[in-house]
Structure formats: C-alpha cells, structure tokens
Amino acid sequence: MDNQVIIFDTTLRDGEQALASSLSVHEKLQIALAIEQLGVDVMEVGFPVSSPGDFESVQTIAKTVKNSRVCGLARAIEADIKACADSLSVAEQFRIHTFISTSDIHVTQKLKRDFSDVEKMAVSSIKYARQFTDDVEFSCEDAGRTPIDNLCRMVESAINAGATTVNIPDTVGYTLPSEFGDIITQLFNRVPNIDKAIISVHCHNDLGMAVANSMAAVEAGARQVECTINGIGERAGNCSLEEIAMILQTRQNKLQLNTDINHKEIAKTSKLVSELCNMPVQPNKAIVGSNAFSHSSGIHQDGMLKASNTYEIMTPESVGICKTNLNLTSRSGRHVIKHRMASLGYKESDFDLEKLYNDFLTLADKKGQVFDDDLEALVFNINQQSGDDFFQLNTLNVQCGTGDFATASLEIAIGDNHKVSSATGNGPVDAFIQAVKQAIDFEFKVEDYKISNKGSGADGLGKAAIEVSWNSRRFHGYGIETDIVKASALALIDALNSIHLAQTVYKLKNNEEFQCRA
C-alpha cells in the first residue's frame, strides 16, 4: 500500500461555513495562496452553484493556484456539477467532488427515497462529472451511520462509475475511533474494486474525535485526509490539518507515512486564517495555540533548560514558531529566574538571586504571569532600595453620559512633582489615557487592553490588564479594583512605572541623565 497520505484542505468550503459572515474574494485568495504554500495536495475552495459570489471566488482561485489541485463541491445534481466544471475549467488541475447521503436516516428522512434510488443518483452524477475531468471524488454523506452492507455496495458502485477518490465522512462526529477504523478495514476487505480508487476520510469533531478518527482510518488504509486549518468548520469543526500533519511527521518512525506538507508554514497559515476568519485560536490548541510550546511548571521548565526533548516532542521551529516560551509564574523555580536574567544580559553579581526570587514570588502571586520588564524592575528596586512608585494616581474623576465621549480629570504624582490634567476620549478609559498622555512628556502606545471579573456579584473585583509600547519594547500593567475604570487607570500607571524603571536602568547603565519628567 502507498505510504503517501494526500492532504485535502477544505478550509475555504467546510471551514467557511462556520463563519458569521462570508470572506471576500480577495480574502479567500489570500488563504488559498497560503494553503498552496503550505503544500496541500488538494484544496476544496467552494460550492460554486450556491451563489454568484462563491462561483467567482472558486474561479479566481482556480486561475491563480498552480501547485495544488483545486476542487469544488457539488450535490449529485447535474446543475451543481456543471457549475463546478465551469468555475474550475480555468485551473491547471482540478477535481469535482460530488456527494449524496447514504445513511438510513438521511435516505428516508432527508431524501425521502430508497437506497437503490440514491445509488442510481450517485452513479449518474459520477458519470456526468467524468465528462469534465478524470479526477472525480464521491462522498457517502453520513457514512459513519450507514449500514456496512449498504456502504460497501455504494463504494463499489461509485468506483465502477468512475470515481477516483471515494470519501467516507463521519459527518456528525459520532463514530468512535475503533468503530471508524473498522469501517475502513471492512471496506478494504469486502469491496472487490477498492484498489481502483483512493479511500478518503472527512471527520467532524462533535465529540472531539475528528483527529483520532482520521488517524484510525489512515492506519486502516485510508490515504486521503480531509481537514481544515485550525480545525474550523460546521458546528464543532473538522479534523485539524496542523494536528494530522504533525502526527504523521512526529510519529513517522512508527507510522511510516509521509505528506508533502511544508511544516514550517503551519504557524503562519494558522495565524492568517485566524485573523481573516475572525476566529481566535484557543490558547491550548495543539500545535498552534499560544500555550502549545509554553511551559509554566517549575519542574517542566527545569527539564526544558537541561534538555528540550524532556517535555517537547517537536520543536516550535518545526512548525514555524520562533522559540519555546518559559512562562514566569509562581510555579517557576530559581534556576529559571537565573536563566532568564542571564538571557537579559545580567551577570550573577548584578543581583541577589535569593532576594530577587522572593520578590518575584510575591509579584507572581499578585499578577499571575511576570514579564521581563517586571524582573528588571525588581532587580532595580532591590539594588536601589527605592520607595514609592515614580508615577502615582492621586485623584481621578470621570464623567460620561449616553453619548460616545467621556471626560477624565486627574491629578498624578510624577516623582516630586504633581500634574493636573483633563481630556476627552471615546469612553472613560480612553479619556483617562488621553489625560495621562497630556501629563507626561514621553510617548507611549496602548497595544492591548483586557478586563476580567475576579469575583462574583455587582461588587466583585475587576482586573484590568494593559500592554503599552515604548521605545520598541512592550510593558505590562495590572490593576484590581471594584471599579473597573479605576482598575484600568491603575493598570496604566503600573505599566508607566515599569517604563520609568526601564528608563532608569538604561540611564544608569549608560551614565546618562534620566528623561522622565513632569
């Protein structure tokens, strides 16, 4: 049996069906070109008969993509197949993918026919599609719930009619991996002409088993996997392309299977799809989640510093991510703090590790995650025995009504000086930020701002987290208050104090005059 697994990407067809609003033709083309660069064998890019917009996008992609086979979807209806052929005819290589339901519940309740009628429709549609191309895929919709005798019969008929790929979907994500693998095994054992076509699988994730079912099918002999970037798709989504690709890559010694995927393009493609589809990737998502190569446990971090393969079965670089992240939390050990300080350019003689670690734990318990600028501030405070923060919020008054604008008035202590300022903004937090910018003499930019609830009830604590940039560096601030506006203000002041400490450290290192003034 061939050891090459064909990767069939359906991000722009099944994946797009999950979006709140359709992608533009230009956005679809961007994704298609990224998927081509990723090295997929086949990309299903739309359902041409569904709308003029889908027809146009399929045709545009078909004209542009050269290295991947472009595919369109069609029901077992001649008008659908003709629309597919018309939109794809400009492609250098294309496939028509037609389908019909085969499970009892779909045949009797949705199609309201008997199985023999459905079989005839399938055969007729495949033969019609073969008039336009010699690459025709046929799908048995809801194959996972189709009686095995009927499924074997349909697959044999489809191959005899000219289907070069036969797809076995777990349409509703119901089948267990052991059951799905057994379905594929039975097809190989019972369908006499099975060697004349490639067996494909298309698994949904309703019970979280899409990737596991796809792998069970591959181990049973399937040689095409239908999947999407980030696993997006109908309901709970599809088999994740990046997961199936990295399983085959990482366990190649066991599976002895290959793909043509350019693995170093995975992270970039994932990010593009996430941004254009407005579907954030969950942090703990395998392969491409922000935590996929992050380590917070002190034991894990210590192991990673000694040998990365103690806790990483693949490198972040292998999927196009720059490096592993060792998150600094209260679970991080002294060795990790020492290593991080060295990476920031500090010698052991520059700080007292025991004092730094104790102060770090206190801060980590308060903030959760500690960043590099926080560590530098802690070192500065220990060495300088500094007292109060340089920036302190003395008073804050905010006025806002039902309109868009709010006004903030504040008094802020800047070292030994005091500054009064007021400004308007688009909401109370923006008004406060503008007032602070008027009060200080250096520029900063708010890059990210988040609020979260830290307690229950109307009087629960609110936590604000802010990220600001200054001098090409990022600084983080946090504030916790029952008043979320005040929490946001304290978070900004916290970030500004981090900037002040960074400026001070820089000036002391370079023996220059300090620049933060009222």
In the numeric block, the tokens 């070192």 are attached to: 379
Compute CA distances 46 → 57, 454, 517, whole Å.
Answer: 8, 44, 59
Question: Residue by residue, what is the 3-state secondary structure of 178-204?
Answer: HHHHHHHHHHHHHCCCHHHCEEEEEEE
Q: Where are the beta strands (DSSP E) in 114-207?
A: 136-141, 165-170, 198-203
**CA geometry: angle at 67 spanning 61 and 72, to 5°?**
40
User: Is residue 165 within 8 Å of 198, Cβ to Cβ?
Assistant: yes
Extract long-range pairs of 391-397: CB within 8 Å, 24+ residues apart.
391/440, 391/493, 391/496, 391/497, 391/500, 392/493, 393/489, 393/490, 393/493, 394/418, 396/432, 396/485, 396/486, 396/489
**What region, left, alpha or beta, does residue 112 occupy, with left being phi > 0 and alpha being psi -120 to 50 degrees?**
left
Question: What does DSSP assign to residue 280?
Answer: P
Q: Where are the alpha helices (DSSP H) in 313-454?
A: 334-343, 353-367, 372-384, 428-439
Q: Which residues of 429-443 are buried (b: 16+ CB within 10 A; e: fewer)?
A: bbbbbbbbbebbeee
358 is in an annotated binding site: no
202 is in an annotated binding site: yes
Q: What residues contact residue 322 under an 8 Å CB cut-off, 6+ apart?
A: 316
Q: What residues contact residue 293 under an 8 Å CB cut-off, 6+ apart?
A: 312, 316, 321, 323, 324, 325
For every residue of 352-369, DSSP letters joined together read -HHHHHHHHHHHHHHHSS
d(CA 83, CA 80): 5
Provide the 10 A C-beta neighbour count for residue 334.
14
Tokens describing residue 432? 């406060």
Question: What does DSSP assign to residue 312?
Answer: -
User: Is residue 129 within 8 Å of 95, Cβ to Cβ?
Assistant: no
475 in helix, strand or coil?
strand
327 in helix, strand or coil?
coil
d(CA 215, CA 177): 8
262 is in an annotated binding site: no
Looking only at the bridges linking them, the beta strands covering 42-44 and 6-9 are: parallel
Question: What does DSSP assign to residue 447?
Answer: E
204 is in an annotated binding site: yes
User: Is residue 315 within 8 Å of 246, Cβ to Cβ?
Assistant: no
Please enumerate, by residue number, every residue annotated as part of a binding site.
14, 202, 204, 238
Please enumerate, by residue number, every residue annotated as part of a binding site for Mn(2+).
14, 202, 204, 238
